[in-house]
Amino acid sequence: MAEEVSRRPYQREVPRVRWFLRHPRYVRYMFREVTCLFIGAYTLVLVAGLGALSQGPAAYQGFLESLASPASILFHVLALGFAAYHSVTWFNLTPKALPLQVGEGFVPDGVIAGAHYAGWGLLSLALLALAGAF
C-alpha cells in the first residue's frame, strides 16, 4: 500500500511545428488554412495595382505588363485554385454555423451550401458583366 505519492502522470509532447503531419485530417486542415497566404498575397497585388493606378497611366501600364509575366500567371493560377478551395470548404461548412430549422426538421445542408454557390455564381457573372466580359 502506498504511503508516499507514487503518481507521476506522463505528459506526451505535441510537436509544435510538425504536429499536423500526424494525421491526414490535419494535413487537409492546414492546406485549407494555408490558402489564406495566397489570398493575402493576392490582396497585396491588388493594393499594388491601386497604387500603380494612382501614379498615372504609365505606372499602371507597367503594372499590367508585369501581370502578364509567366511568374505572375503561375501565381494567379495557384491563387485562384487556393481561393476556390477556400470558398468551397467555407461554403460546405456554413450549414454547420447557420442551421435553419423548419418545424421539426432542418433545411438540408446542400440547400444552404447551394444557396452560397448560387450567390457566388451570380456575383461573379455580375462582376464579369461590369468588367465588359460579355
CA distances from residue 17 to 11, 14, 119 in whole angstroms, order as listed: 18, 9, 38
Q: Which is nearer to another protein, 30 or 48 (CB)?
A: 30
DSSP assignment of 73-90: HHHHHHHHHHHHHHHHHH
Residues that bind another protein (CB under 8 A): 1-3, 5-12, 14, 16, 19-20, 22-23, 25-26, 29, 33, 93, 96-99, 101, 103-105
Minimum CB separation of residue 94 from another protein in Å reads 9
Could you give the CA distance from residue 50 to residue 45 in angstroms, rounded to a whole number?
Answer: 9
Quote the radius of gyration of the chain (alpha carbons, Å): 24
Three-class secondary structure of residue 134 per DSSP: coil
CB closer to another protein out of 37 and 53: 37
Q: How far is the CB of 65 from another protein (least distance, A)?
A: 39
In the complex, what is the shortest distance from the CB of residue 63 to another protein, in angstroms, rounded to a whole number? Answer: 35
**CB closer to another protein, 36 vs 122:** 36
Which triple of cell numbers denotes residue 59?
505606372
**CB of 23 vs another protein, minimal distance in Å:** 6
